[in-house]
Amino acid sequence: MARPMRIQYPGALYHVMCRGNERRDIFRDDPDRLAFLRILSRSLEIYSVTLHAYVLMTDHFHVLVETSLGNLSEFMRHFNITYTSYFNRRHARVGHLYQGRYKSLLVEKENYLSMVSRYIHLNPVRIKALEKQSSTRKFEHLRHYPWSSLPGYLDADRRRSMVSYDLVLGEFGGDCAQGRDRYAKQILVDIAEDLDVRSLVVAQSILGSEAFVEKLSREHSGAGEEREQPGVRRVKQHRNQGVILAEIAKLTGKGIDDLKREKGDLRRVAMDLLYRHGGLKGPAVGELFELDYSSVSQERKRLREKLAADAELGRLVEILEERLSILKI
């Protein structure tokens, strides 16, 4: 199945969801959740992104974000890489944390902002353990769920500074006691009616009116075509290879000739970054380091084993990945 289009433009609003690889937990405890929120807050500042709503579940998360610079991909790359590095280091693990790329819906702000915020906020009661509870009991569970932006919408004293509440509450009379009360009442209605926006999604990636969809089709009809062009991919791989090796050299003083000659952990790190972030396959990495592709696979496996026990090496990888994310690699 073809991937849905990734449409980006200044002021675009997105509902973004990431799920753990093989549906495994991406939060093992509250320190993980707190670290996630700290990293999210920092990423919002770096990329000038506005957060309207969020919820953290055990094996996935949802955010509703507005990109003033039209830079969702850069924001999500930096954010996800940084949290993955934190999680892997803390729990002595390696490899992918998330199940493929993040999923995003481009949302029409004027007609669907509030609806999507409420859909996100209902996630904690969409679990089997609560399915037979009354709407009132479910609402109380949501009101006291600590890993969601909903408590801040209902009680001004429970707000987080990184969340922008006024635009959503504007649809309910404003950011005031009356507006918060109306939002709470709508949440109760949504619980009873089991609000679900998925049936309204167009082309796997857009939530909006017919006019909104037609406008996007006219203005962004070529979006996503670049990835189908092999020549473009090769140019990107060549650029990425140079940027990755340059960042390693800046941080360690070791160039490609040093990495070939000295072998060891740093060479393994270079191979792994070129494979995971540079878009190079095993044979291409092997050709660069004058190895066969099976040796590349073995070296990357040795790196994963070493990372599980070597905090200093893990920190080096984390620093490099964060720098590459800022450079859009």
Query: What's the angle, vertex CA 90, arms to CA 88 and CA 94, rounded to 5?
Result: 20
Q: pLDDT tens digits for the chain (329 residues)?
A: 445 557 899 999 999 999 999 889 999 999 999 999 999 999 999 999 999 999 999 999 999 999 999 999 999 999 999 999 999 999 998 888 998 889 999 999 999 999 999 999 999 999 989 988 999 999 999 999 999 999 999 999 999 999 999 999 999 999 999 999 999 999 999 999 999 888 788 877 899 988 888 888 788 765 544 443 454 455 566 668 888 999 999 999 999 888 988 889 999 999 989 988 888 888 889 888 988 878 888 898 899 888 878 888 988 988 998 888 877 67
DSSP codes, 295-315 = HHHHHHHHHHHHHTT-HHHHH
The Cβ of residue 201 has, within 10 Å, a number of other Cβ atoms equal to 16
SS3 (DSSP) at 107: strand
Is the separation of the CB atoms in 116 and 207 below 8 Å?
yes
Distance of alpha carbon 306 from alpha carbon 92, whole angstroms: 10
> What is the structure's pLDDT at 210?
83
pLDDT of residue 156: 94
CATH class of the structural domain 229-326? mainly alpha
- Separation CA 118–CA 168 (nearest Å): 10
The Cα–Cα gap between 37 and 102 comes to 17
CATH of 12-219, one of 3.40.50.2300, 1.20.210.10, 1.10.40.60, 3.30.70.1290: 3.30.70.1290
**Two tokens at 129?**
């353990």
pTM higher than the cut 0.75: no
Domain ranges of the chain: 12-219, 229-326
Closest CA to 85 of 327, 310, 321: 321
The SS3 assignment for 202 reads strand
